[in-house]
Structure 1
Amino acid sequence: MRKPPDMFDRDREWAALVRFASDEQPGATLGVVSGRRRQGKSFLLESLCQEAGGFYFSAQEATDAESLASLGAALTRYLDPVVPFVLPNWATAIDALLRIGRDRAIPVVIDEFPYLARAHPALPSIIQGAYAPRRAERVESRTRLLLCGSAMSFMGRLLSGNAPLRGRASLDLPVDTLDYRLARRFWEIEDVRLAALVHAVVGGTPAYRTEMIRYDRPRDLGDFDDWVVRAVLSPGSPMFLEARYLLAEEPDLRDSAMYHSVLAAIAEGNNGRGGIAGYVGRKSNDLSHPLTVLEDAGLIVRESDAFRGNRTNFRIKEPLLTFYHTIMRPFWPQLMRATATDRIWQHATQRFTGNVLGPHFERLCRDWTLHFAEDRFGGWPVEVTAGTVNDPANRTTHELDVVAIGHADGGKPPLLAIGEAKWGDTMGIGHLDRLRRIRDLLSHNDRYDTSQTRLICFSATGFTDDLLHTRDQGEVDLITLSDLYD
C-alpha cells in the first residue's frame, strides 16, 4: 500500500499498520493504536482504510444505545445491505465487524474507543470473548480490528496486567510527537536557533502548525517575539487554551488543581519528589498517585539519577505545558484581557530563557546523545540521563546535564560521556575544568567503568578560543546547536 503523498514522515507507523492490515493469515487479529490528541492517529487510520478499502468508525461521547445506532448506520453505509443494520448489543456488533473480513484481510478501525468503553465498561471483555482462539467467528475471519484512543491512561491499561485484552493484540502502536529534528522539517524552518525556540514553545505536535494556527510560523528570529504573542499568547488563538485542555482530555485527571500545581512545580525547576511536595504543600507520599497519573497520560517522564539510584527526577514531556506554567499561568488574568500581551511577554523574557529554554536545551542534548550520536563516544548509549555527583572535599554537589551510559558486557557498564549544556553562555575552560573535576570524582565509584569517559560541552552560543584549542587536542567534544540538528 502506498503511503499518501500528503502524509509527513510517520514511515515507521505506516509500515507497521500496512503489515498488520495486509496479513493474509487466517483468523481475525486485534491491534491497538494510542497517542495524545493532534498527533495524526486518525489521519493515519483513515488513510489506511482508504488505501485498503477498510471500515472506519469514529466514536463520540454518547450513550450506549446511541453509539450502537451510530455504528449500525456506519456499517449500513459501508456494506449497503438490503436491510439496514440494527445492533441490539455489543456482542452482535463485534461479530458484525468480524464478518467484514470473511473474504479477505481488511482493516476495521474503531477510533476514540475510550468513549465506547466508558459508556459500556464491559466492552473490552466482550471483545476478549469474540476473540476466543477456537471461536468460529474469529477463525473464519481476517478482520484486522484496530482500537484507537487518545486517553493515554486508559489505552495504557488496555493491554496491561490482568486486563481482558492482554495477550489478544498482535499490534500495539504508539503515535508520539515528532522529534525535534522532524519538527524543524515539518515547520520548514532553516535557522536552527529559530527551530529550537519554536520547539521550546510548541514541541512536535503536528496539528499545532496545521489546524491550530493555520501554518503561521515566525519568518525569522526577529519575528519570533511577535509570533509568540499572536499565535500562543493571544486569546483569539486556539493555542491559548490548549495547555489547559491537555489535562481536561484525560478522564483520570479529576483534581485538575492538584495536577496543575504539580506541573507548575516541575516547570519551576522542582524535579525531585521532595521539591514538588514542598511547592504544592503536600507530603511526598501524597504525590504518588498524581505523579503516576501524569506519567500514564504521557505528560511527564520519570528519569533515574545516573549516580543516585534512590533519586528520581520528573520532567514535563510536552513543551507547551512548560511554557504555559512558566509564562502564561502567572499572568493569566492579564492575558485574558489581552490589553498588555506585548509587555507581559517582554517582562517574561528572562523567565523564558531560564525556565524554558535552558531546561529544553538540556533535553535536546540528551535526545541527541541517545538517538543521533550513535557510537561517537566509543559505544552506543543504552541510557542517557542527568546525574548528581557528590564532592565531599568541597562539601558540594555537581549537576550533570548529560550522562551517557553504555551496555555492560559482563562487567561494569561503561560511562561513555558526561556533559554540560548551556543555552545562553559562551563556554570556556572553566566549564571544562568542572567536567574534569567531576570525572576525577567518578573515577573512584564502583558503579561504572570510567576509563574511557569522554567530556562534552554543549552550547547554543559558542565556545572560547582556548576551549576550541583544547577540542583540537582531542580532550573534549564541543557540540553546537547546528550539530544537534544536522
Structure 2
Amino acid sequence: MSSTEASLPEKPERVFDREDEWDALVAFARDGGAQPRLGVVTGRLRQGKTFLLEALTRALGGFYFGAQQVTQADALSRLADELARYTNEPSSRHWRGWEDAVDALLALGGRGAVPVVIDEFPHLVRQSPSLPSVLHSAFRSHDGGRSGQARLLLSGSDLPLMRRVFSTASPLRELAGLDLTVGPFDFRRAARFWGIEDPALALLVHAVVGGTPAYRRDYVCDDAPGDRQDFDAWVCRTVLDPRKPLFREAYHLLQEETDHVDRALCHSALSAVASGCSTQGQVADCLAAPLTDTARCLGLLVENGLLHSAPDAFRPHLIRLHVAEPLLAFEHVAVGPRRSALEQQDAAGVWKRARPVFDSVVARSHFAQICRDWVLGFAGPDVFGAHPVSAARGALPDPEHSGGRDVAADVVVHGHGTGREAALLSVGLARWDEVMDTHHLEQLRSLLALLADRGDDVTRARPACYGGAGFTPALRAAEAEGHVVLVGLDRLYGHR
C-alpha cells in the first residue's frame, strides 16, 4: 500500500455500506491533479446523498453548502455567509453575480485538493439559468493556466434537470471527472440495514419501504419489526400511524419529485401500474384517459425515477412499466383506498382488511421484481450457463385462446446479443405465496414450446421456479435431475 492510499480517510462508521460510493468520492476529492475538477452526484430524494457528502467534507476538511429554493440574491448572500464561516473571515463579500462566487469557491483549492460541495444544485439553476455557463467559463479559464485544486461536487435530486444540465450535449458534461449515482440499497443490503435476518420478513419490509435509508433513520426512529409475527404491528405503528412522517411520505414524494399540474392523473396512473397495468395502453384504458395524456404523465413519472420502464422480454417493441419506489405501490394499492378510514379508525382493524390485498398484489409483484433483481445482481454464470445480461417479464398471446389471453413468464433471462438474437438463458415463474409444484414446470415447458414454434432458439433455456413459499418434493427431485432451477428465499438472500 502506498503512503497516499494509507492516508485516505476511512468511511465513518455512521455511514452504512456505500463503500463504493465513498471510495469514488474520496478518490475524486484527493486527486493530485493541479487543476480544479468537477464532479456530479445524483439520486432521488431520501437516498443519503447529503449524509454522504457532509461526511466527506468533514473527513477531508472540505466546504459544504446546501442550496435552498430562494432568489439568486438570497442564495449568493447565504453562500457568502457560509464561506465566511468556513474561512474564518468577515462576511463582507459583495459579489456581483455567480462569476464572483464561483471564483471564490474554486479559490478554496489554492493550498491543495479539497472537496467543495454544492448540494441541491438544481435549486440554484432554476433561479440562475446561466449558472452552468458560468461554471463552464470558470473551469475553462483555469485550464488556461490558473492553478487550484478545488474538487467541486454538484449534487441534485431533481433528476430531469440534472440530466439536462449534464447531458451529452451540455458543455459541462466534458468537464465532469466523476458521475456518481446514489440509489436505494438493493434488497440484500436493505435487509442488513434494517437488521433483519429472516428473508421472508426482509422481503415484506422491503415491499413496504424499499431500500431508502431515510425511512429507517429519520422516518420511524430505527423502529424495525422484531420478527415475522411483529410485521403487522410494525406496519400499524409506522407507515399507518398518522403521527409518523412515513404516513404521508408517498404523497410528498409525488409532490416533490414532479412539477406536473395534473398530479391527480399521476396518482391514478401509479395506482393502475401498481395494480397490474403494465403498458401505456392498459393504464389509459384503466383510467379512461386519452392515450396522449396518459403517455405524458407516465413519461414524467419515468423521468423522475418513480416508474421504471423496460421492453417486454418476448416483444421488445412493447414497453412494460413497474413502480420503482415500493412505498408508492404500497400506498396506492393497499393504503390509499382506506386512508380516510385510517384517520378515524384503529389502524390494526384497517390493516387487517388491507393485508390480503397487500399479499396478493403488492408483495406478489414485488417478489417477482426481487427475483429479476437477483438474476442481474447476484446470479453467477453457473446458474443459467452464461452471464445474465437482462431479466424482464415477458408475455405472448396464447394461440389456444382468441380473447387476448397471454402466456407469461415473470423472469425471462437473456444473455449477450440484441433483440431476438440475444441468447435465451431461462424462463421462470415467481410465486410469492404459493408452494410450487411440477405443474409450474409444465407451464414453463409449454411456453418454451411456444417460443420454439415462433422460431426462437430455446436450446439453452433453463426453466426456473422462484418460490417464496417453497417447493414440493417432486419439484425438488426435478431440480436434482437438472430439469429446473429452483430459487427460494434463502437463495435470494444469499443464505445458501
Question: Considering the TM-score relative to the shorter chain, is it more than 0.5?
Answer: yes
Alignment of 1:121-140 (within 5 A): 121-132=129-140, 136=144, 139-140=146-147
Which residue in 1 is equivalent to 2:295?
A: 288
* 1:344 corresponds to 2:344: no
Which TM-score applies when normalising by structure 2? Answer: 0.94
The residue aligned with 2:369 is: 363
1:335 to partner: Cα distance:
1.6
Name the structure 2 match of 1:422.
Answer: 431
Amino acid paired to 1:364:
I
The 8 Å contact of residues 32 and 146 in structure 1, kept in 2 or not, is answered as: yes
| Alpha-carbon distance in structure 1 between the residues aligned to 2:409 and 2:91 | 68
Match of 1:80 among 88, 93, 99: 88
Counterpart selection for 1:229 from 228, 232, 236: 236
Contact 1:153 1:293 in 2 (8 A): no
Q: Hey, what does 1:89 align to over in structure 2?
A: 97
Structure 2 residue 405 is matched with structure 1 residue 399? no
One-letter amino acid of the counterpart of residue 440, structure 1: A
Q: Distance in 1 between matches of 2:454 and 2:29?
A: 51
Describe the SS at the equivalent of 1:36: coil
Give, as a single letter, the amino acid of the residue that structure 2 aligns with 1:367.
D
Residue 449 (structure 1) shift: 3.1
1:258 to 254, 265, 270: 265
Paired with 1:231 and 1:31, the residues of 2 have a C-alpha distance of: 37
Change (3 A) 1:411 1:214: closer
Please say if residues 75 and 85 of structure 1, whose CA atoms lie closer than 8 Å, have aligned partners that are also in contact: no
Q: Deviations over 1:231-263 (max 9, x none)?
A: 011101110000011111125333211211111
CA deviations over 1:111-144 (Å, ceiling 9, x no partner):
11111112222211211221226655x7412111
The Cα offsets for residues 203-253 of structure 1, whole Å up to 9 and x where unpaired, read as 011111111100111111111111101101110111000001111112533
- Given candidates 41, 46, 49, the residue that maps to 2:54 is 46
Q: Which amino acid aligns with 1:422?
A: R
Query: What are the superposed Cα offsets for residues 51-87 of structure 1, whole Å, 9 maximum, x if unpaired?
Result: 1111111112212111111100111111123663332
Preserved contact between residue 250 and residue 331 of structure 2 (Cα < 8 Å) = yes
The 2-side partners of 1:197 and 1:438 are apart by: 30
Cross-structure match for 1:175: 182
Deviation at 1:166, TM superposition (A): 2.7
SS in structure 2 opposite 1:463? coil
Deviation of 1:393 (Å): 4.3
Q: Is the 8 A contact 1:21 1:106 kept in 2?
A: yes
Determine helix, strand or coil for the equivalent of 2:222: coil
Q: Is the 8 A contact 1:429 1:466 kept in 2?
A: yes
The partner residue of 1:195 within 175, 199, 202 is: 202
Q: Distance in 2 between matches of 1:325 and 1:411?
A: 35
Task: Give 1:476's aligned residue.
Answer: 484
1:57 match: secondary structure: strand
Whether 2:128 is the aligned partner of 1:115: answer no
Q: TM-score, length-normalised on structure 1?
A: 0.96
The 1-side partners of 2:493 and 2:333 are apart by: 26
Cα offset, 1:471, TM superposition = 1.3
Q: Aligned equivalents of 1:16 and 1:470: distance in 2?
A: 45
For 1:190 and 1:374, the matched residues in 2 are separated by: 23
- Residue 35 of structure 1 deviates from its aligned partner by 1.0
Give secondary structure in 2 for the equivalent of 1:384.
strand
**Larger deviation, residues 160-169 vs 56-65:** 160-169
Q: 2 CA distance for matches of 1:287 and 1:409? A: 29
Provide the rounded CA distance (Å) in 2 between the counterparts of 1:87 and 1:68: 8
Q: Secondary structure at the match of 1:264?
A: helix
Identify which range, 14-23 or 393-402, moves more after superposition: 393-402
Aligned length: 483
Using the TM superposition, give the Cα deviation of residue 404 of structure 1 relative to its aligned residue in structure 2, in angstroms: 0.5
What letter is aligned with 2:46? R
Distance 1:411 1:36 in 2: 34
Separation in 1, partners of 2:199, 2:268: 33
Structure 1 residue 390 displacement after superposition: 3.2
What SS does the aligned partner of 2:140 have?
Answer: coil
Greater shift, 143-152 or 198-207, is seen at 143-152
Q: Is the Cα–Cα contact under 8 Å of residues 35 and 142 in structure 2 kept in the other structure?
A: no
- Do 2:258 and 2:301's aligned partners in 1 also have CA atoms closer than 8 Å? no
Q: Is the 8 A contact 1:247 1:253 kept in 2?
A: no
Give secondary structure in 1 for the equivalent of 2:430: strand
**Pairwise CA distance, 1:161:** 4.6
Offset of 1:272 from its aligned partner?
0.9
Instruction: Output the CA distance in 1 between the equivalents of 2:355 and 2:161.
Output: 38
**Letter of the aligned partner of 2:318 in structure 1?**
R
Question: Could you say which residue in structure 1 is the equivalent of 2:5?
Answer: none
How far off is 1:28 after superposition?
A: 1.1
Amino acid at match of 1:346: K
Q: After the TM superposition, which of the residue ranges 347-356 and 251-260 deviates more from structure 2?
A: 251-260
Match of residue 353 from structure 1 = 359
Instruction: Give the distance between the partners of 2:112 and 2:61, measured in 1 at CA.
Output: 11
CA deviation map 1:126-169 (0-9, x unaligned): 11221226655x74121110111122222222211533523221
The aligned amino acid for 2:329 is: T
Distance in 2 (CA, whole Å) between partners of 1:297 and 1:108 is: 26
Question: Secondary structure of the equivalent of 2:384?
Answer: coil
SS of residue matched to 2:231: helix
Query: 376, 380, 388: which one pairs with 1:381?
Result: 388
User: Deviation of residue 196 (structure 1)?
Assistant: 0.6
1:28 is aligned to 36
Q: 2:450 aligns with which of 441, 448, 455?
A: 441
Q: What is the RMSD computed on CA atoms of the aligned residues?
A: 1.8
Ranges in structure 2 where 5+ consecutive residues have no aligned partner: 1-8
Q: Per-residue deviation at 1:397?
A: 2.5
Match of 1:329 in 2: 336
Residue 10 of structure 2: SS of its match in structure 1? coil
